[in-house]
Structure 1
Amino acid sequence: MPSPNGALLRSAPLIRKVAHPPSVDANHLQLSYALSFAIMHLLAMLVFLPWFFSWFGVIAFWVGVIVFGQIGIPVCYHRQLTHRSFKTPKWLEHSFVVLALCSAQETPAKWVAWHRKHHGNTDEQEDPHTPLVNFIWSHVGWLCVKNQSRTPMSFYEKYSRDILQDPFYMYLERSRAAFAWIYLLHAFAYFLIAWAISFAVMRSNAPAFQMASSILVWGVLARTVYVWHITWSVNSLSHIFGYRNFNTPDHSRNNWFVALITGGEGWHNNHHSDQASASVQTRWWEFDLNYYFIKCLERVGLATDVVPLARHRRLNGAASPATLSVADAVT
């Protein structure tokens, strides 16, 4: 419930300390993830070499963060698919999913299942990424070891059955190569288009190649790693640092820094108190850019059934079937 007299709750409720990761086979690394993370971080460090710097590369980086990192992950994967906070035409939903795949954050069924499991077991033993294990675990460690509680059939059946009813999402799950090819093709398109435009302007292959390499390093490699970290920061920082508007039975917090770098996802305590809402803005200064984007889609007729905040639903005296909880989405 909201804090008394609108006061900000500073301390989290006392809950059971999680001493070890949930159902983890500690002797086995998830090599595909660990190696991918290591290689991508090493490649992203090319931004520190002067040869790869260009202002066009920096622009490509920030545009990519908005298009792939904001629209793809928090808007589509999180609010649309996981919580069913709004609807779009299928062609647009699938387009948003392709943008999310270009952020290399797994298939929609797997991402949704992980997040729904988090909401169903927040800061408890079976939470996939609670920081009550430790900070590194919540940020990235949980992805790097095999977790026995995430076995495909039972895991998907419980948490993302509705997602896999879509043939496109089922295809992505069955054909793991499709996910990889989408990411690689978008990287190749970045390089090829940048080279073609640069060559047309400069009329010289060497500077065109350098510009295309800069845009590849900044606009794809560094952007992918940055979007990973800002997404992971919601799991880690927003369960450790910040204030609380609502007395939820977990450690979720509102973190202004995470909200700033994620377009609003850092108002995490607000979200845990009202998971179904398309908005996480409960105070005027808690800006939620992702929600503003959803409202723009609604204004032009591309989004429907946008779920308002719980207090607005109560005032209207009605609730959409999508407004209850994550549990309702998976039954």
Structure 2
Amino acid sequence: MVILIFFISIWYLSLFSQTFFQHRYAAHGAFTMNKSWEKFFFIVTYVTQGSSYMSPKAYGIMHRLHHAHTDTPLDPHSPSNSSNIFTMMWHTRTVYQHILHQKMEVDERYSKNLPVWDGFDRFANGAFSRLLWVGLYILFFVVFATSPWQYLLLPIIISTGAFHGAIVNWFAHKYGYINFKLKNTSMNLLFVDVLMLGESYHNNHHKHPASINFGRRWFEIDPVYYIIRFLLYLNVIKSVNSSSV
């Protein structure tokens, strides 16, 4: 039971950081926050994502490229460019590393107004940090696992971010339904998205990328939207414009 609770906690806490901080804030600027809160959420993202942490700056650039070049050869992650999910995710990793280490030219329009904490990102993306988290996860399993079968969850925990990315970037471009006819293959993967905290409403998101609410129809519940509204109420973050709500 402890291992299952740990797995579910990592899945959702990591996913929240991705969709709230890296995706809606860094990539799309759907809301703003001051630098103190920004650093706070840097740390929250690092703690919740652990070994699969991604730099909000590099993630933001990569995701902006995805929106600008969806389903074209310049898309960092599209099923249209890959024969299977594994080659797509490997290409995604390669593009991310090239952006992170400044090994590819990026147009200035994709790198504006991004959260920057270079020293922290160097540490968080380093081999020592990733191996430290892997060691902590293994130690947790050694202490609390009650069955060898529970160790099957360990690789997912170590690479949670990759699993999140694969579900949306592969399956939500191949399966589902559409609310908006767009010039790309984005679809809404799930009718009620509890699994991906609203991220699977991918067709909606490609239509309204700066919206803080990824749901559009009455049954499309985006749990993170309500958390964002609460943080707006507390003045932790500020809305950019009314259309984003």
TM-score by length of 1: 0.60
Aligned to 2:90: 141
The residue type paired with residue 92 of structure 1 is W
Q: CA deviation at 1:158?
A: 4.6
Quick one: distance in 2 between partners of 1:149 and 1:66? 28
Q: Does 1:83 align with 2:28?
A: yes
Alignment of 1:8-87 (within 5 A): 55-67=1-13, 69-87=14-32
* Counterpart secondary structure, 1:152: coil
Query: For each residue in 1:178-218, what CA deviation from the matched residue of structure 2 results, as whole angstroms up to 9, or x when unmatched?
Result: 423444555666678x69xxxxxxxxxxxxx632899x968
Quick one: distance in 2 between partners of 1:190 and 1:147? 24
- Counterpart among 48, 71, 78 of residue 130 in structure 1: 78
Aligned to 1:200: none
Would the aligned equivalents of 1:278 and 1:306 in 2 still touch at CA under 8 Å?
Answer: no
The residue type paired with residue 202 of structure 2 is H
Query: For each residue in 1:240-276, what CA deviation from the matched residue of structure 2 results, as whole angstroms up to 9, or x when unmatched?
Result: 1111111221111111079332100111111000111
Q: Does 1:232 align with 2:166?
A: yes
Would the aligned equivalents of 1:258 and 1:266 in 2 still touch at CA under 8 Å?
Answer: no
* Counterpart secondary structure, 2:62: helix
Distance 1:143 1:276, change over 3 A: closer
Aligned to 2:103: 152
Distance 1:184 1:302, change over 3 A: farther
RMSD across aligned positions (CA) = 3.4
Distance 1:226 1:108, change over 3 A: closer
Distance 1:89 1:189, change over 3 A: farther
Query: For each residue in 1:276-331, what CA deviation from the matched residue of structure 2 results, as whole angstroms up to 9, or x when unmatched?
Result: 11111111110101212211212222121165556x7xxxxxxxxxxxxxxxxxxx
Q: CA deviation at 1:94?
A: 2.2
Would the aligned equivalents of 1:264 and 1:287 in 2 still touch at CA under 8 Å?
Answer: yes
Aligned to 1:114: 62
Higher relative contact order (CA 8 A, sep 6+): 1
- Counterpart among 218, 225, 237 of residue 284 in structure 1: 218
Q: Does 1:163 align with 2:110?
A: no
Q: Which has the larger radius of gyration?
A: 1
Distance 1:58 1:268, change over 3 A: same
> Across the two proteins, how many residue pairs are aligned to each other?
236
Quick one: distance in 2 between partners of 1:219 and 1:272? 32
Q: Does 1:293 align with 2:227?
A: yes
Structure 1 residues 100-109 or 122-131, which shifts more? 100-109
Would the aligned equivalents of 2:65 and 2:76 in 1 still touch at CA under 8 Å?
Answer: yes
Q: Any unmatched runs of 5+ in structure 2?
A: none
Distance 1:93 1:275, change over 3 A: same
Quick one: distance in 1 between partners of 2:158 and 2:107? 26
Quick one: distance in 2 between partners of 1:146 and 1:132? 16
TM-score by length of 2: 0.79
Q: Percent identity?
A: 27
Aligned to 1:4: none
Quick one: distance in 2 between partners of 1:139 and 1:266? 18
Would the aligned equivalents of 1:253 and 1:267 in 2 still touch at CA under 8 Å?
Answer: yes
* Counterpart secondary structure, 2:172: helix
Would the aligned equivalents of 1:131 and 1:138 in 2 still touch at CA under 8 Å?
Answer: no
